Amino acid sequence: MTKLTNNEELTSENYHMLIKYFNRNKDFLFNNVDNFYDYVGRLIYLYVSLFRDLSMTEPCLLALYRLVDEVFVSVDIEQEDLSNLVLQIKMAMEEPVDEKVGEKVARMERKVGIPGYVYVLSNHSMNNLVKIGHTTRDPNIRVTELSKHSGIPTPFILEYHAYFEDCIRAEERIHEILEKRGLRVTENREFFEVGVEEAVRVVKGVEGVRDALD
């Protein structure tokens, strides 16, 4: 494994995010744990749920290594072994290898929930279209990333964002509402042919029942 260089400030920030996230999901982490490996698996699952696409990046992995060293003081766990577990679980969450794995991941995600933001973006190059997605980070950072890599001539504009205890379920509910109205431009994409005001209204409607989504 390539030796990691330390980014202390970002690693420390990620570490405290992990602690806070784990504390919110103590029941999932500790209940009905049969053995040490089951516990480690759940811990890494929560880690990947929190950081998603960033879970294999250096600052996030360093935060995980630090936490594991503190939690499992008497157990010597190699960083390479942890990295391999992170990669395996991340791949299983993104592309389930079979139906049973897919069902298990879906059950775990429904049980845990992933806190974050649902955002509404517009773009001057895309008339009467909005992009509605989710992120576990600052929405402004996500907008910058999308504007940089989207291949369109003008940047996205962050019109609105709302925090949800489970941003994925909230996003799915919002997409479902708009898709039923025939406003989705392409299947499995986040673009909808709707005005900004109406898109924000739908998000706010779901926001009001964010702790009891069906």
Local structure of residue 52 (DSSP, 8 states): G
Task: Compare 70 and 107 and report the one with higher pLDDT.
Answer: 70
> What pTM was computed for the model?
0.51
Q: Residue 95 burial by CB count (10 A; 0-12/13-18/19+): exposed, middle or buried?
A: exposed
CA dist 200 to 40, 105, 126, 132, 175, Å?
40, 30, 17, 10, 12
pLDDT bracket for residue 111 (50, 70, 90)? low
Residue 141 identity (one-letter amino acid) = I
> Is the pLDDT confidence value at 79 over 70?
yes
Which pLDDT score, from 0 to 100, does residue 121 have?
Answer: 95
Which pLDDT score, from 0 to 100, does residue 193 have?
Answer: 94
DSSP H or E stretch at residue 192: strand 191-192
166 and 113 Cβ atoms separated by less than 8 Å: yes
